[in-house]
Copies of this chain bind each other. A is one copy, B any other.
C-alpha cells in the first residue's frame, strides 16, 4: 500500500510489541496499539506508538482488517458505527461483506460498497484461472484438489511433520463454495489436504469447457493474456513450489512475494472435454494486489482496469 501513489498508509495496528511491530516503525509506518493496556506493553518494550486504534480510525477512509479469522465480524460494528469503509480477508464469512472480491473477475460488484471481502489465497487463485477460462470458453464444471502448505514459514508451532492431513476429511472443502461467492454460476467441487510445506499451495485442476474443440494452445494463449497469471516451465527448472519461491527471490521481490498465480505450461493438457493443469499459489502474496484494488473499488477511486494496471506497475507484477 505504501507504494501506491494515490494512497496514504495512515497507520498500522499491531496487538503485540514483537519484531513485526518493530519492523513497521523502522519502515516509518505510524504504529497504533489496540487499547491502553497494549499501549503500555509497547511502551515497556521501547516501541513508540502514535495512539490507540480509536485514534487511528478517526483519520482513515478505509480499514484493511487483517485480524485473525472471525475477529473481523466483531470489528465491523466499530467500523460501521464510524461510517468507515472496510476490506476484510478470506478467513471471514462471506456474509460479513456486501461483496466478495477478485479484482480481475468482479471489481465492479464492490464499486462504492462499504464492506468488501477479499477471498482467500486459494480462492483468489482459482477465480483468476477459472474466470479466464470461463470468460473465453465457458466453464461448465470444475474439479480441484488443493495441496495446501500447512503453515507459513514463521509459524513454528504448527504441524504436521511427515503427514498428509485431510483438511477437511469431508468433500467438498470450503473452497468450492467460496469460489461461488465470486463466480456463482460455475459448479465447482474441491478437495483439500495439508502437507508439511511452508511456502506455497499447489492446485491440480480438471475443468470442463462449454466450448468444444478448444486446443491446448488456445488455453495457453488465454493464460498468457490473463493478468496476474504466469505461465512457468518445468523445462526451465521450475518443477516445484520451492523453485517458484527461488524465482521470486531472484526477482528481488519483497518477502519473496509471488503475487501471480503460476500455471505450469507443460501441465496444460486437454483430455476429452476437460482442461487439466497444475497451478501454484503463494499463500501470503496473491491477495496483496487484491487488497490494494479493493481499496480503490470501495472508494470509487478508479475503475477496474486503471486500478489493476496501477497496482501491477507499482508492485512490479510481471503481467
Residues of chain A at the chain B interface (Cβ within 8 Å):
141, 143, 145, 147, 149, 160, 162-166, 168-172, 187, 189, 191, 193, 195-200, 202, 204, 206, 234, 239-243, 264, 266-269, 271-272, 274, 276-278, 280
Contact = CB atoms under 8 A, between A and B. Distances in A.
A204 B189 contact: no
A169 B241 contact: no
Contact of A160 (B166, B242, B271): B242
Given A169-B234, A171-B277, A276-B189, A164 B195 contact: yes
Contact of A197 (B163, B168, B202, B239): B163
Nearest to A166: B239
A118 B268 CA distance: 31
A202 B193 contact: yes
Given A163-B243, A165-B240, A206-B206, 19 more contacts: A141-B272, A145-B191, A147-B164, A160-B242, A162-B198, A162-B199, A162-B242, A163-B241, A164-B240, A164-B241, A164-B280, A166-B267, A166-B278, A169-B234, A170-B266, A171-B267, A171-B276, A189-B276, A191-B204
B196 A166 contact: no
A268 to B, nearest CB: 8
A169 B271 contact: no
B163 A240 contact: yes
A169 B233 CA distance: 9
A187 B147 contact: no
Contacts of A171: 267-269, 271, 276-278
A160 B195 contact: no
